[in-house]
Amino acid sequence: MYLVLLGPPGAGKGTQAKRLAERLNLPHISTGDILRQNVKAGTPLGKEAKGIMDKGLLVPDDLVASMLDQRFNNPDIKKGFILDGYPRTLSQAKTLDEILGRKKFAVDIVVYLNTSDEVIIKRLTGRLVCSKCGANFHKVNMPPKVSGLCDNCNGELYQRSDDNEITVRKRLEVYKNEVASLIKYYEQQKKLHSLNADLDAQEVLEQIISLCAKV
């Protein structure tokens, strides 16, 4: 099952992708996570990407495509994947088809998580992420039991440098400029399913799982 999660930043793609990966026993591949790992490790890719990410802009296509191509060489994708954060543009969608096609795979289903700007801004500006296990918390909606520490692994929580209101609004603008053509592309392929992501996360998860069962 090759599943792509689409939706604005803060729609809950990462949260859903992690849960789906567990339930369906598939790898979760997030281009944002791989980029952040590169930034943290100080690789040449990370150094190039850091400033762009902090402005809420898109990292150049060729860099992200080759990073993904490399990730797809891992044999764990033979059974499928949950892809989160890619594609973000029509050109990336075509690149994805190309890279997968070369490896004799294809996208099976695209789930679009639809949500409103105000919900997104509240979610992202309050988001806290565990530096060890990547679990997400929220300052108001889901605070950790001990301030600053992850409930699951005791790792330190941090706020992503691009989760401030100015950058979030920029990320939303970038997203909106691109999403219409992306949606049309997958609609034409009859692969697109839209869900209301303002609902409870568990409910959204169950809806995605039942869509997957029909593929």
Residues in contact with ligand AMP by CB under 6 A are 9, 31-32, 35, 52-53, 56-59, 64, 85-86, 88, 92, 162, 171
Q: How far is C-alpha 44 from the geometric centre of its chain's CA atoms?
A: 22
Residue 171 is among the residues annotated as catalytic for this protein: yes
In whole angstroms, the minimum distance from the beta carbon of 181 to ligand AMP comes to 15
Catalytic member of 23, 55, 139, 160: 160
Identify the H or E element spanning 109: strand 109-114
Largest CA distance in the chain: 48
Q: How far is the CB of 6 from ligand AMP (least distance, A)?
A: 11
Nearer to ligand AMP, 58 or 149 (CB): 58
Can you spell out the DSSP letters for 39-83? HHHT-HHHHHHHHHHHTTPPPPHHHHHHHHHHHTTSGGGGG-EEE
Rounded (10°) CA dihedral 174, 177, 183, 188? -140
Q: Which of 50, 88, 123, 191 is catalytic?
A: 88
- Comparing CB distances to ligand AMP, the nearer of 7 and 80 is 7
Q: Which residue's Cβ has the minimum distance to ligand AMP?
A: 32
Nearer to ligand AMP among residue 47 and residue 206 (C-beta) = 47
Q: Taking a C-beta distance cutoff of 8 angstroms, is the pair 40, 160 a contact?
A: no
Clarify whether 88 is annotated catalytic: yes
Question: To the nearest whole angstrom, how small is the minimum distance from the Cβ of residue 17 to ligand AMP?
Answer: 10
Report the C-alpha gap between 109 and 213 in whole angstroms.
Answer: 11
CB of 121 to ligand AMP, least distance (A): 14
Contact assessment for residue 93 and residue 188, using Cβ atoms and an 8 Å cutoff: no
Spot the catalytic one: 127, 145, 170, 190.
127
Q: Which is nearer to ligand AMP, 114 or 154 (CB)?
A: 114
Least Å distance between CB 18 and ligand AMP? 13
The catalytic position among 13, 71, 123, 191 is 13
In the three-class reduction of DSSP (H, G, I as helix; E, B as strand; rest coil), residue 28 is classed as strand
Is there a contact between 194 and 11 (Cβ–Cβ < 8 Å)? no
Closest to ligand AMP by CB, 44 or 214:
44
Is 127 part of the annotated catalytic residue set?
Answer: yes
Residues marked active site are found at: 13, 88, 127, 160, 171
